[in-house]
Structure 1
């Protein structure tokens, strides 16, 4: 029996680690991963907050 390739092994490992589901839309489908840890959620929230604050600062400077 032939051993699976590295990319197949990597895909199998990711599917085992990440909980995911596929959403079908009119234009196609996309895969959503659902296994963020609390640390990853905090980091993503902080990055989004920093981005929003920088955007608001830029808008305020342009309007002023």
Structure 2
């Protein structure tokens, strides 16, 4: 298997970068998973707002 990801899709490159960042900082697995849930929820909300023409507020929080 090649370690060259130059031709990989953008999401693979980003995932590799994120994994490296998180592992190199020795962040607890549970903390990582909770943070990724927050990030995913936030990006899903942003995507939904873009599709419906809504504008996200600058001070919007991904947490309830």
Q: When the two structures are superposed, what TM-score results if normalisation uses the length of structure 2? A: 0.43
Q: Which has the higher strand share?
A: 1
**Higher RCO, 1 or 2 (CA under 8 Å, sep at least 6)?**
2
Q: When the two structures are superposed, what TM-score results if normalisation uses the length of structure 1? A: 0.43
